[in-house]
Structure formats: C-alpha cells, structure tokens
Amino acid sequence: MGSLRRRNATVIDVFRDNVRKHPNRVIFYHNSAKWTFKELDEYSNRVANCLTTELGLLPGDEIALLMESRPEFVAMWLGAAKAGVITALINSSQRNETLVHSITVVECQALIFSAEYDDGKKMTLVI
C-alpha cells in the first residue's frame, strides 16, 4: 500500500500492473462464465474507445452507470476511467423519484444502463 501511495498509483495503474503480471488469471467468476484480467482489460478498452470516439466524451465529462452487479459493470467503470470520464455509480435498487434524482444530480452527458432497465422503447448501446 505504501508504494502505491508513494507513486500516486490510480486504480487503473494497479489494474494495468495486474493485467501485465497475470493476463490469464481469472478475476471474475460470474454464473458459468470466467473473466480473465486480459478479457476485462480488452472489454474496458472497447468501452473507453466507444465513449471517446462514438460518443465524443472528453476527460472530465460525466456519465451515470446503472447496472446490476456483474463483470460488465466493472468493465464499464474501468473503461470510463481509462478515458478520463467521471462515473456516477447509481444504486440499482433505486426507483422513481430517488432514481431520477440520482441520475439528474450529476450533470452527465450519458447514462449507461443494462438491458433489464430497457422497456423496449429506448435505444440501448451494446458494446
């Protein structure tokens, strides 16, 4: 911990160190799937690329993330962090006015949400 503090390491720095050291080590077991550090890194890189090139977000821009707990949640957050985008993590158990408040209190340029929140009338970005 002390060396991380001394070098002012971010979560992304620590993650990249672990990808480099253990690319094929499993980081997540979710349902019947296994995610390695390398797979999570590649997915989060696609997220970062999408946020910057497809959506035009810049470092310092803000987004909100509304997903159930699963590896894609971490990949979305990591990808945003790699792009320098600030992510408001929205509690997935919120509903109605509380949910609206949590999303609107942040001046976010985008809301990323998982398919369970799509009523079929909205467009969902799939990466």
Domain ranges of the chain: 2-117
C-alpha span between 75 and 45 (Å, rounded): 9
**Which pTM does this prediction carry?**
0.85
Confidence of residue 6 (pLDDT cuts 50, 70, 90): confident
Per-residue model confidence as pLDDT tens digits over 77-118 = 999 999 999 999 999 888 888 888 888 888 888 999 887 766
Architecture (CATH level 2) of domain 2-117:
3-Layer(aba) Sandwich (3.40)
- Under DSSP, is residue 78 helix (H, G, I), strand (E, B) or coil? helix
Bigger pLDDT: 104 or 76? 76
